Amino acid sequence: MNDQDLQNIIEEKVVEVLGYQRDIPSLYARSHIICLPSFYGEGLPKALIEAAAASRAVVTTDIPGCRDAIILNKTGLLVPAKDPQKLADALQWLIENPKERYEMGKAGRKFAEKEFPIEKIVQNHLNIYQELIIQDKPK
């Protein structure tokens, strides 16, 4: 997507482009679906963990990191990277199936509480830093 594509979307009013947001919890509270159609390896996206913690159904791409943040068809849906039609289909399905969307959100919250408690995330980060310090020491 280039700047002209984004401008066309804005002008056509296909979606509402919110721009930069500071209050992410409020944004999640006003949302029903969280979508992250990433196409490059970015590790485990915190946005998807936050979405699950906020009890929101997720649509994301089937790439490492993103796919690890959901339980397929239980907490969210996966689509192939760079496939706008499959992405639109997944979003449409969740829009048209509010009961399933709600259940995915509830399951996502339980998944986040079990797999991604803040203490575990912080400890994982500290472990990585410790490994990097050990690797960087002169021998």
Within a domain: residue 113?
yes
Residue 139 burial class via C-beta count within 10 angstroms: exposed 0-12, middle 13-18, buried 19 and up: exposed
Within a domain: residue 30?
yes
Q: Residue 30: which domain range?
A: 22-136
Q: Bigger pLDDT: 121 or 101?
A: 101
Q: How many domains does the chain have?
A: 1
Within a domain: residue 27?
yes
Within a domain: residue 126?
yes
CATH number for the domain including 89?
A: 3.40.50.2000
pLDDT (0 to 100) of residue 103? 98
What percentage of the chain exceeds 90 in pLDDT?
A: 71
Within a domain: residue 13?
no
Model confidence at 5: pLDDT above 90: no
**H/E stretch holding 59:** strand 57-61
Distances (CA, A) of 78 to 20, 62, 65: 25, 5, 12
- Count of Cβ atoms closer than 10 Å to residue 48 Cβ: 27
pLDDT one-digit tens code per residue, 40-54: 877 889 999 999 999
Separation of alpha carbons 74 and 138, rounded Å = 47
Within a domain: residue 82?
yes
Q: What is the pTM of this model?
A: 0.81
